[in-house]
Amino acid sequence: MVQKYVLETEGYRICFALQETQAAKESAEVVVELLLDRNLGDVAVQSVPTLMTVRDVSRLVAYFEAHIARLQQHPDSESYVFVPLELGFQVQALAGEVQAGDDGEFSVRFFIHVGESSPTGHRVYIGGESVVTLKNLRVFLASLQEALAAWSRAHGMSPV
């Protein structure tokens, strides 16, 4: 069964479609889709299928949580580029303003791996940069945390 997790920004949506693999209980096949807002055109681009581990999902949640905490003290902070083990996408959380609760926003760059160039075989990424509200990010992170909890229950793993 494919589960979808969506991060909605002010200019595009990123949709993670995860499907657990039979071979490895600690990873899932993932296709990441970048969908531009309708007023920018009906553009949708999918990544090549890749694997994403439970640890990578957990690291992605922690990455955004750490960035939010840092922005509360330093609004000009930019986080390092987050790249999962299999290189299926890249994300970078940028400067913004974050208040207590779900009040605030910051810019986020997101690139998805769409294939390899010929004949060199270098990875090609397509992406965008836009503002994400803290409210939308919290919805995305909560859905990923629920997925992690379900993954742990289904496979008898300790919570990540």
Structural domain total, the chain = 1
Question: Which residue blocks in the chain are alpha helix, DSSP H?
Answer: 54-73, 134-155
Residue 85 forms part of a structural domain: yes
- Indicate the Cα dihedral angle 66, 79, 83, 154, nearest 10°: 10
User: Is the pTM value of this prediction over 0.75?
Assistant: yes
Contact 2/140 with Cβ under 8 angstroms?
A: no
The pair of structure tokens assigned to 28 is: 């899932």
Kindly give the confidence (pLDDT) of every residue in the chain, 160 residues in length, as a single tens digit, with 9 standing for 90 and above. 788 999 999 999 999 998 876 656 778 889 999 999 877 777 899 999 998 888 999 999 999 999 999 999 999 999 999 999 888 999 999 999 998 777 899 999 999 999 988 888 899 999 999 999 999 999 999 999 998 888 777 766 555 5
**Cβ neighbours of 91 (radius 10 Å):** 21
Locus of tokens 């303003």 = 97
Range of the domain at 46: 2-155
CATH code of residue 151: 2.30.31
Q: Do the domain assignments include residue 135?
A: yes
Q: Is residue 32 part of a domain?
A: yes
DSSP string, 101-129: TT-EEEEEEEEEEEEE-TTT--EEEEEEE
